[in-house]
């Protein structure tokens, strides 16, 4: 049977196997993407929880910097 008369069953089988492999890989990637999305959501929730601590830390550091600047200015005079 020539290529013009019909389908080459060996080539068709090889192509079918390749498609099956691609589908399996896409399913694995889809699962990984779902897990990554869940992890990113968890990281964003953790970041939002710690915002208050960040601002409090910045306020304390600013206050300490202001006190240090005032003490340095006082000693220079």
Tens of pLDDT, residues 1-40: 445 678 899 999 999 999 999 999 999 999 999 999 999 9
Q: Give alpha helix (H) positions in the chain.
A: 9-49, 51-76
So where are the chain's domains?
9-76
Q: What does the alpha-carbon distance between residue 77 and residue 31 come to, in Å, rounded to a whole number? A: 67
CA count, 13 A, side-chain hemisphere, 10: 3
- Residue 57 pLDDT more than 90? no
Helix axes 9-49, 51-76, angle to 10 degrees: 50
Assigned token pair, 55? 């601002």
């Amino acid at each position: 049977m020539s290529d013009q008369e019909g389908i080459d069953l060996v080539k068709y089988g090889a192509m079918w196997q390749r498609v099956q492999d691609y589908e399996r890989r896409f399913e694995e990637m889809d699962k990984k993407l779902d897990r990554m999305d869940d992890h990113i959501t968890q990281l964003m929730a953790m970041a939002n929880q710690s915002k208050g601590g960040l601002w409090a830390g910045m306020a304390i550091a600013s206050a300490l910097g202001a006190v240090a600047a005032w003490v340095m200015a006082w000693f220079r005079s």
